[in-house]
Amino acid sequence: MTVDPSTAPRAAAAEGPKPLSFYAGLPGAFVFPFRKSGWAIIVGGTIIFTAGDLAGRLAGVIIMGVGFALRLLMTAYVGAYMVSIIAEAADGSDSPPDWPSVTDAWSDIIGPLLRVVGAMLISFAPLLVYVLFGNPDSVWDLKLWLLGALGASYLPMGLIAVALYGSMGALNPITVLGGIIKTMPAYLVAAGSFFVIYAVNLGLRIAIAKGAPLGISPLGWAVSLYFLMVEMYILGRLYYTHSRRLGWFE
């Protein structure tokens, strides 16, 4: 497995003072997006995603195509930014990173996004296979829920691994499952927080969209970007407080 030196956290090899515990640092996750220039990614992303939504609602193939392109480009950019949040928080930073520079579209934007998508696909691959080929009885099929829980347990550590190693190879079970075991019980809190925040985010987005004209609301995008930043910080913080126990870059 190849390690990208630019993503390897200095905290992993540092012999400095013991960091603040993971639990003590959790409340700071909810103010993290407003530190430094974090608000700018929320405002900028909200404007572009909303513009894409509006263009998608207007008649005309060209305008709809522009809207789709805006959403696609911003999704890729935000994906790269979220990966950088994990890396920065894993290095001990309590402030959002600067906007990702784009000197090479593949390595700076497309690569990080593909690693995030890959982490999601690999984590939930057993569930997808069962849905497609296992003929589940209903939405309450026990196997569906067990495989969903398996994917939900694998994904957070998978995201940490691909963000720090900069490689899809980091999604191997030895790295991910070993990381989960070594960070217990904090990992349960981090993974639980990750999906509780996701559920809250989704619920708010649905409620906001119902009361918005055409189902389009800048507030909905702002809420989503805020909670995404909170989730990524929590994952990075988990690594930072357990880096010596994990020993990934030693």
Q: Does residue 5 lie within any of the structural domains? A: no
Q: Does residue 228 lie within any of the structural domains? A: yes
If 0-12 CB within 10 Å is exposed, 13-18 middle and 19+ buried, where does residue 219 land?
A: middle
Give the whole-angstrom CA distance, residue 22 versus residue 239: 9
For the whole model, what pTM was predicted?
A: 0.85
Residues of the chain with confidence (pLDDT) below 70: 1-20, 56-67, 214-215
Q: Which tokens in the block code for residue 169?
A: 């190879």
DSSP H stretches of helix in the chain: 22-25, 38-57, 61-90, 105, 111-123, 125-133, 142-165, 173-182, 186-210, 218-246
Q: Whole domain around residue 204: which residue ranges?
A: 28-95+103-246
Q: Does residue 118 lie within any of the structural domains? A: yes
Longest dimension (CA), the chain: 60
Q: Does residue 4 lie within any of the structural domains? A: no
Q: Does residue 152 lie within any of the structural domains? A: yes
Q: Does residue 6 lie within any of the structural domains? A: no
Give the whole-angstrom CA distance, residue 112 versus residue 167: 9
Q: Which amino acid is at 125?
A: A
Q: Does residue 22 lie within any of the structural domains? A: no
Q: Does residue 110 lie within any of the structural domains? A: yes
Number of Cβ atoms within 10 Å of the Cβ of 212: 14
CA-based nearest residue to 220, from 239, 200, 206: 206
| Count of structural domains, the chain | 1
Residues 6+ apart with CB under 8 A from 62: none
Instruction: Quote the DSSP letter at residue 91.
Output: T
Q: Identify the pLDDT of residue 25.
A: 87
Q: Identify the pLDDT of residue 111.
A: 87
